[in-house]
Homo-oligomer: A and B are copies of this chain.
Amino acid sequence: MAFLPLWLRQYQRRDLSDDALAGTITAILLVPQALAYALLAGLPPEVGLYASIIPPIIYALTGSSRTLAVGPVAVAAVMVAAALANFAQGDPALALAGALWLSFLSGVFLLLFAALRLGWLSHFVSHPVLNGFSTGAAITIIGTQLPTLLGISISSQHAFIGAINALLPELSKTQQLTLISGATVILLLLISRHWLASWLKHLGMSASSAGLTTRVTPLLIVVLAILLSMHFDGAAHLAVVGGIPAGLPMPSLAFLWVPGWQSLVSSALLIALIAYVESLSVAKLLAMRRRQRIDANQELMALGSTNIASSIVGGMPVAGGFARSMVNFEAGAKTQLASIITASWVALAALVFSSGLAPLPKTVLAAIVVVAVTQLIDLRSILTTWRYDKRDGLSQVATVIGVLVLGIEPGLMIGIGLALILYLHRTSNPHIAVIGQLAGTEHFRNVLRYSVQTWPSLLIVRIDENLYFANTPQVESQLLSLVADHPHAKHLVLVLSGVAAIDASGLELLESLHVSLSEAGIQLHLAEVKGPVMDRLQSTHFMRTLNPSHIYLSTHQAVNHLIQSSSEATL
């Protein structure tokens, strides 16, 4: 039984009713979203359903989170749409094959990351960048839904700005009925989200029933829209979803014979990265609330298998969605059995009701997407980030603007790249402080911030950054100008308490500094060299030229020794 996941082996009967309820509520939310996100990705609606059946079950059996709800998500869907624009060139069959390739390749990347222990790569998507990306992607998604909401057909555009530009001249072609239907749905959903629960409670309904009713709203709207559309022959007046094949497709690897996958590799990598980062952060958040643990590497393997499974059963790329997981969690899900129950409901819907979806107006699904993604827009956090850290704020703003102007993928890459460049820029210009002794202590601090004791013959300098190639020229020129500013200094003590690494360029800097100082009659000393740094320096030419007695455990020892020996010399 060891192949069964821990939660299943230890399953407690009393969790069953909680899991069943949570699984059902999540399914009610998931069915309309699955249809909508498939359309958002530019795929037939059933692809969203297929991605919501087998993949969540695979995740349930392999993942380390107990409550993460895995399935199609808005951000991955719009990334698929962006990747397919070039690949499919409008051919629906090619678009479907491309979507399966994207699921498959992102799954392979996730498994590769797991095998090569490359999960740390995901840390390079900083929180401000991820936040900016979500905001930008949500606005882009709204932009992609506008033509559907207005009943205008224009060619799809990569970026929000382009989409708006293409839409503006066509505005006169707006179809009133489509617009009114969509706007009504948006209004109803917003009312439901913001006020319905409190109204119902006001009317005497229990909080949990009120919450449940709120969650049912999208499904109710879909059913109502279908009924209305059937009655008034909606297909004659509005764009409708159209025929959906009944039942489930057979598992197939046929898409692997569609050529041109090479052009999807970089998109699949970005989708894998975002799917992993989003899933992991949601999983961690939920696990923390119940003191459970998330194993980052197991998550990589689980999400990788899940995406490969999705491609085989005809589904789009999947991830752990934030909103859906929160609903699942708050509805009381205890284990992944809830996800399996959700999947069973979706399967039932796909088998039994899919033919009934044909008259559903597309504008209803577009409205559901728009309302779902508005939650991702977080402009306030830009301000908070900016106030604390200009560099982080800049990467966040650049990501939002990059996504809106250049598109989903370039925007994300600009954000990731800029955050790294700005971090490197920060380390390339390190803080260097002349320090002195705090009276009555063995502690040394910046002479500019504290009233400390100094000695004319001693220049004690603390370097607050690793010595590496990007900052050695800066550090060298700063140190040389400090030496020039202290003409009486006979000893330069470099305090390396803030230096955790010295690379080959840093070593060259120390060597050339030692030579220049010797020629100027100044002795070089090192203090507070960390263990790992000392291990490396040990066998270098630099260490052989430096007097070993010039290396001190602490700044205090260095100063004591130098003051003593210089007063002896004076005697």
Please give the residue numbers on chain A whose beta carbons come within 8 Å of chain B beta carbons, in ascending order. Answer: 120, 123-129, 288, 296, 385, 387-389, 391-392, 419-420, 423-431, 433, 438, 441-443, 445-446, 449, 464-466, 468-474, 497-501, 503-505, 507-508, 512, 516, 530-532, 536, 539-540, 553-554, 556-557
Given contacts A505-B126, A507-B388, contact A419 B469 (CB under 8 A): yes
| Alpha-carbon gap, A275 to B532, bound state (A) | 36
| Alpha-carbon gap, A247 to B65, bound state (A) | 78
Given contacts A431-B530, A442-B443, A536-B388, contact A464 B500 (CB under 8 A): yes
Are B424 and A474 in touch, CB under 8 angstroms? no
* A549 to B: closest C-beta gap in Å: 18
Partner of A469, one of B126, B473, B503, B557: B126
| Alpha-carbon gap, A430 to B532, bound state (A) | 11
Are A500 and B120 in touch, CB under 8 angstroms? no
| Alpha-carbon gap, A242 to B156, bound state (A) | 57
Are A464 and B530 in touch, CB under 8 angstroms? yes
Are A443 and B554 in touch, CB under 8 angstroms? yes
Query: Of A126, A430, A499, A516, which is in contact with the most chain B CB atoms at under 10 Å from its CB?
Result: A126
Partner of A474, one of B123, B125, B471, B557: B123
What's the number of copies of this chain in the assembled complex?
Answer: 2
Are A473 and B123 in touch, CB under 8 angstroms? yes
Are B504 and A128 in touch, CB under 8 angstroms? yes
Query: Of A125, A389, A391, A539, which is in contact with the most chain B CB atoms at under 10 Å from its CB?
Result: A389
Q: Please, which residues of chain B bring their CB within 8 A of the CB of A470?
A: 120, 123-124, 126, 423
* A456 to B: closest C-beta gap in Å: 24
Given contacts A441-B556, A474-B120, A505-B126, contact A468 B430 (CB under 8 A): no
Partner of A442, one of B441, B464, B500, B505: B441
Are B388 and A127 in touch, CB under 8 angstroms? no
Are B429 and A120 in touch, CB under 8 angstroms? yes
Q: Please, which residues of chain B bring their CB within 8 A of the CB of A420?
A: 420, 424
Are B127 and A469 in touch, CB under 8 angstroms? yes
Given contacts A508-B127, A516-B288, A531-B449, contact A425 B389 (CB under 8 A): no
* A526 to B: closest C-beta gap in Å: 15
Are A438 and B504 in touch, CB under 8 angstroms? no
Query: Of A423, A429, A539, which is in contact with the most chain B CB atoms at under 10 Å from its CB?
Result: A423
Closest residue of B by beta carbon distance from A500: B464
**Which 5 pairs, one residue from A and one from B, show the smallest C-beta to C-beta distance?**
A126-B469, A464-B500, A442-B442, A443-B554, A392-B504
Are A123 and B471 in touch, CB under 8 angstroms? yes
* A370 to B: closest C-beta gap in Å: 29
* A280 to B: closest C-beta gap in Å: 9
Are A504 and B389 in touch, CB under 8 angstroms? yes
Partner of A127, one of B126, B498, B505: B505
Q: Please, which residues of chain B bring their CB within 8 A of the CB of A499?
A: 498
Q: Please, which residues of chain B bring their CB within 8 A of the CB of A125?
A: 469
Q: Please, which residues of chain B bring their CB within 8 A of the CB of A442?
A: 441-443, 556
Are A500 and B123 in touch, CB under 8 angstroms? no
| Alpha-carbon gap, A504 to B393, bound state (A) | 9
Partner of A124, one of B124, B424, B500, B540: B424
Are B474 and A443 in touch, CB under 8 angstroms? no
| Alpha-carbon gap, A419 to B503, bound state (A) | 11
| Alpha-carbon gap, A427 to B387, bound state (A) | 25
Q: Please, which residues of chain B bring their CB within 8 A of the CB of A427?
A: 466
Contacts beyond the supplied A441-B556, A497-B498: 6 A-B pairs with Cβ under 8 Å: A392-B503, A392-B504, A423-B424, A431-B500, A442-B443, A443-B556
Enumerate 6 A-B pairs (CB-CB under 8 Å) in ascending A order: A123-B473, A392-B503, A438-B553, A443-B554, A446-B531, A465-B500
Q: Please, which residues of chain B bring their CB within 8 A of the CB of A468?
A: 126, 423
* A271 to B: closest C-beta gap in Å: 21
Partner of A500, one of B430, B472, B501, B503: B430
Partner of A120, one of B387, B425, B431, B504: B425
| Alpha-carbon gap, A127 to B508, bound state (A) | 9
Closest residue of B by beta carbon distance from A391: B503
| Alpha-carbon gap, A473 to B126, bound state (A) | 11
Query: Of A388, A465, A556, which is in contact with the most chain B CB atoms at under 10 Å from its CB?
Result: A388
* A290 to B: closest C-beta gap in Å: 12
Q: Please, which residues of chain B bring their CB within 8 A of the CB of A465?
A: 466, 500
Q: Please, which residues of chain B bring their CB within 8 A of the CB of A473?
A: 120, 123, 296
| Alpha-carbon gap, A499 to B499, bound state (A) | 9
Closest residue of B by beta carbon distance from A530: B464
* A431 to B: closest C-beta gap in Å: 6
